[in-house]
Structure 1
Amino acid sequence: MFDVIIIGGSFAGLSAALQLARTRRPIAIIDAGSPRNRFASHAHSVLAQDGKPGGTILAEARAQLVAYPNVTQFAGTVRQAEPLPSGKIAFTITLDDGRVLQGRRLILATGVRDLLPELPGVAERWGQTVLHCPYCHGYEIGGGNIGVLGRLPASVHQASLIADWGDVTLFTAGMEPLDDDAMKLLARRKVKLEHVAVTAIEGAAPAIDGARLADGRLVPLRALFLAAPVQQASGLAMQLGCALEEGMMGPIVQVDAMKMTSVPGVHAAGDAARAMANITFAMADGVMAAVAAHHAMIAEEGQA
C-alpha cells in the first residue's frame, strides 16, 4: 500500500513526486513516457532551464528521484483505477501489463492531447514551426511573417497577442464572421486578414515556406500558430467519476485551490486540470497537489 500513487510522469507528476519523496512516505509514480511537449526540441521560459530539451529535464528529474528509496517508479499505462471497497479512502490501480498497486491517495497528472487539424504539412511540423504558445517559441522565430490559423473564437486573441513577435496574418476561413470588436482589435494590432482557405503548409519540414491557399497563392511564413482543441489524454478521471469543466480549449478536470477533484482522495495537476498550460504552471500544480495530499493524509490519521 503506497501512501500516494501519481499517474503521469511529466512535469506535474515528477514535481509532485519530488515534493512527496521528501516526506519519507512510500509513493509510486507511473509514466507512459509520452509527455505533451515531446514534439518540441527545446523548452523555454523555465527558470534556470531555458533552452534545454524537455526530455533532458524530465530524465534528470527521474534520475534525482532514484536517490529517494521511498519512491518507486513504474513504466507503463494505467488501464483501470477504482476505489477499494473497504469504506476508507484508498484505491486500486491496474497497469496495462496486469500489475496491481494500491494507494491511499491518487494524483492524476495524465495531461491532455492536442487535436490538430487534418491539414497537410501540420503534423510533421508540430512543435517546430507549427506552434501554439508564443511564450514558449515566439522569441526563436525572430520576427518576420507569422500565420495564425483561425479555428476557434480564441484565434482572434491569439493573433492579436502574437503580433508582438512578428507580422501576423490571420487565416479566417472556417471561422465565424468577425464582429466589430474583433476587427478593431486586429486593426489596432496591425494583423492582416486572409479569407481564402489554407489547403497545405509547404516547405522542407520541419522548416516552413508558407501556406498554400485554395486559389493557388503561397503566403510566405516563418511559422504558423494555431489554437488546438484538447481532449483528456487518459480516461481515468472519468472512470473515477471526477467532474469535468469546459476549459478554453476543451474539457479539463475540475479541481479546487488545493488541486482536489470532486472525488475524495483524488487530486489532479498539470495540463489535465488547468486551462492555461506551460511547464512552470504544471510544476507548480504538482507541488500543490502533493502538499495537499500530504496534509489530507495527516488529517485522516488524526481521526483514526
Structure 2
Amino acid sequence: MDTTYDVAILGGSFAGLAAAVALGRSLRRVVVLDASTPRNAPSPGAHNVLAQDGAAPADLIAAARRDAGKYGVELRTAEVASAEGCRDAPGEAFGVTLTTGERLTARRLLIATGTVDQLPQIPGLAEHWGTQVLHCPYCHGWEVRGQRIGVIATHPMASHQALLFSQLGQVDFILHGEDAAAHLTADQRADLAAAGVSLVESPVAEVTADGTGLTGVRLASGEHREYGALTVQSRLAARAEVFTQLGGTVSENPMGTFIETDQRQATAIPGVWAAGNVADPAGSVAHVAAAGTTAGAALNADLIAADVRLARAGSA
C-alpha cells in the first residue's frame, strides 16, 4: 500500500516534533517515523528549557507528541530502511521504505534522526554516560557543582571544556591517549594553570564505581583518583544514512559529522530538510526545537509555493 503525505519526518525527538507541530497547525498531512532511540535517554533531566527546566526528556517528548497529535500529525514507531527520489517528479516526491517493507510517499522529507555519541573505549565509561560521565557544562554543570571533576582529554576541544567546568568545581585535566600531551599547546597549558586546573599526565585505564555509582578513575600508572563526575567529549556521528542514500554528502567539523543546511534548514538536495543534532551536533534541546520550528515553517512555505506554481501552470 502506498500512502502519500505532504511531509515525512524521520525522527521523533525535539526537532522532529517541533516541525510536526508547525506543519500540523498549517493543516499539512504529516507522518513522524521514530525508531525510539533518543540520544538523551540516559539523562535524568533536560536543562535550559524555558519553563520546563529539569524535566525528564521522556516526559518532554510525551508532551510534545500529545501536542503534535492534536493537530492531526500521524505518529508512528517505525524504522526507515531506505529512501529515494521519485523519478517522475524529482524534488517533488520521495519514496520511503520501512524495515517492515511498507512504503510511504511524501512530497518533502525532514531528516531529524539525530546523532550518535562515539565514546573513547575506556572500561566502565559508557555505563555512566549521561549521568556521571558528562560533556556539557550548561546541560549538567549545576548538578555537579562543588565536586571534583575529571576531564578526560581525548579531543581538540578538551581544554575549552576543562575551562568551562573549572567555573563549577575543582578540575583535573587528564591527558588520555598517546597524542594528548602533544596536542596541548603552551598557551592552553598556561590557560589551564591560570584557571586552577591540575594536569594529570597518565591515561585512564578504567572508570571505577561502587553500588552507588561512579567513584573515579584508575590511571595507567596504577594510581586511583576519586571524582564526583567525569567529562569527555564524544565524537558525534550524524545518523545520515537516508541523506547519503539520496545522494547527499555528509560534512565534518572537529565535533564529528553533520548535514549542512541553510538558515531555513534546507539541505543541498531539493525537497529535503534537516534539523536537530543531525544538522547541529552541539545543539541543546532548546536549539534543536527552534530549528525544528524553523524547518516546519519553511517546509510549509515551500509546499505553498509549489502548489501555486502548479495552479498557475494549470490555468495557463
The interval holding the TM-score normalised by the smaller chain is over 0.9
1:228 alignment partner AA: S
**Residue 137 in structure 1 maps to residue 140 in structure 2:** yes
Instruction: Give the match's secondary structure for 2:40.
Output: helix
The whole-number CA distance in structure 2 between the counterparts of 1:180 and 1:274 is 31
Instruction: Give the match's secondary structure for 1:93.
Output: strand
Alignment of structure 1 residues 142-291 onto 2, 5 Å: 142-174=145-177, 175-177=180-182, 178-204=184-210, 207-291=213-297
Q: In the TM superposition, what is the alpha-carbon distance from 1:68 to its structure 2 partner?
A: 2.0
The whole-number CA distance in structure 2 between the counterparts of 1:87 and 1:2 is 15
The whole-number CA distance in structure 2 between the counterparts of 1:250 and 1:205 is 34
Deviating 4+ runs (over 6 angstroms): none
Q: In the TM superposition, what is the alpha-carbon distance from 1:66 to its structure 2 partner?
A: 2.1
Q: In the TM superposition, what is the alpha-carbon distance from 1:117 to its structure 2 partner?
A: 1.5
Q: In the TM superposition, what is the alpha-carbon distance from 1:9 to its structure 2 partner?
A: 0.1
Alignment of structure 1 residues 94-105 onto 2, 5 Å: 94-105=97-108
1:83 alignment partner AA: G
Moved more, 257-266 or 241-250: 241-250
Deviations 1:148-188 (A, max 9, x none): 10001111111111111111101113215221111121112
Indicate conservation of the 8 Å contact 2:175/2:201, yes or no: yes
Structure 1 pair 193/205, CA: closer, same or farther in 2 (3 Å)? farther
Instruction: Give the match's secondary structure for 2:251.
Output: strand
1:90 alignment partner AA: A
**Residue 4 in structure 1 maps to residue 7 in structure 2:** yes
Deviations 1:187-243 (A, max 9, x none): 121111001111111122662211111122111100000000011234111111223
Cross-structure match for 1:116: 119
Q: Percent identity?
A: 38
Alignment of structure 1 residues 7-156 onto 2, 5 Å: 7-69=10-72, 71-88=73-90, 89-156=92-159
TM-score, normalised via structure 2 length? 0.93
1:296 alignment partner AA: D
Instruction: Give the match's secondary structure for 2:278.
Output: helix
Q: In the TM superposition, what is the alpha-carbon distance from 1:21 to its structure 2 partner?
A: 0.7
Deviations 1:48-82 (A, max 9, x none): 1111110011011112222223x111111101010
The whole-number CA distance in structure 2 between the counterparts of 1:140 and 1:255 is 34
1:164 alignment partner AA: Q
Instruction: Give the match's secondary structure for 1:264.
Output: coil
Indicate conservation of the 8 Å contact 1:242/1:254, yes or no: no
Instruction: Give the match's secondary structure for 1:184.
Output: helix
1:79 alignment partner AA: A
- State the aligned residue count: 303
The whole-number CA distance in structure 1 between the counterparts of 2:47 and 2:141 is 10
2:129 alignment partner AA: W
The whole-number CA distance in structure 1 between the counterparts of 2:249 and 2:240 is 14
TM-score, normalised via structure 1 length? 0.96
The whole-number CA distance in structure 2 between the counterparts of 1:91 and 1:192 is 54
Structure 2 gaps of 5+ residues are 311-316
Instruction: Give the match's secondary structure for 2:213.
Output: coil
1:120 alignment partner AA: P
2:282 alignment partner AA: M
1:285 alignment partner AA: A
Indicate conservation of the 8 Å contact 2:82/2:98, yes or no: yes
